[in-house]
Amino acid sequence: MPHRTTALRLAAPVAVLALALTACGGGDDDSGADAKGGATTEATTQASPSPSQPASGGDMAQGESASGKVAEGPGEVTYDVLAQKVEVGTEAEAAKAVADAADAKGKVLATAHIKYTHQGGPALTEGSDVHDGTTVFADGQRGGVLIGAAEDAPGCEDPYDVESWKQGESHVFCETYVIPAGATSVEVHWSEEDGEPYVWKFPQK
């Protein structure tokens, strides 16, 4: 797919952005936080599915949506989830997005656009946790989440601004990750808590 700029998403000052470099299975951390409040690295792991949970997840075709349940404040809500697209930027944009450009060497920004539709359950009045189940992978390895990136760029809504969400309504939230430059496939993963992920693959040219 053609490369599209993500510069407009980086509205927050560079100093407040933190780059959490993570890899599937707990990959290597290149650096820690510096004294000037620069980029930080955090090792993260994904929870293993519970053996008692019903089978879920699997590969999804582009344009195909998944259905899953999320425990929200008012009660359990069923969502229709669709990864619409992934916008991949340039190494120069990634370098500008973090306090220490060395943390982004050889990497680019990948912004996933995911549409969530409230399909069943109580109406929400204090936001939603549905986007917490979303991650971005590149060539089978989890990317590093870009903490502090603006999530309200054109085509994206800030999930923390959505305080009223009724059945039948949809919202598009975006997630920005840092992935290796030259990745041949970018994947958007979404899963229910303790469930297997649904995976949308976006081949890169």
Q: What is the pLDDT of residues 112-150, one digit of tens each?
A: 999 999 999 999 998 899 999 999 999 999 999 888 776
Q: By residue range, what is the domain housing residue 102?
A: 7-37+67-203
- In tens, the pLDDT along 69-94 reads 999 999 999 999 999 999 999 999 99
Count structural domains, the chain: 1
In a domain? residue 107: yes
In a domain? residue 61: no
As a whole number, mean pLDDT of residues 180-192 equals 97
In a domain? residue 169: yes
In a domain? residue 172: yes
Q: Give the global pTM.
A: 0.75
Min mean pLDDT across 3-12, 35-44, 75-84, 153-162 is at 35-44
In a domain? residue 1: no
In a domain? residue 117: yes
> d(Cα 104, Cα 109) in Å, to the nearest integer?
9
Q: Sheet holding 185-190: strands in order across?
A: 58-60, 198-203, 185-190, 134-138, 141-142
As a whole number, mean pLDDT of residues 47-54 equals 41
In a domain? residue 55: no
| CATH code of 82's domain | 2.60.40
**Cα radius of gyration (the chain):** 17
The size of the chain, in residues, is: 205
Residue ranges in 98-144 assigned as alpha helix (H): none
In a domain? residue 18: yes
> d(Cα 126, Cα 186) in Å, to the nearest integer?
32
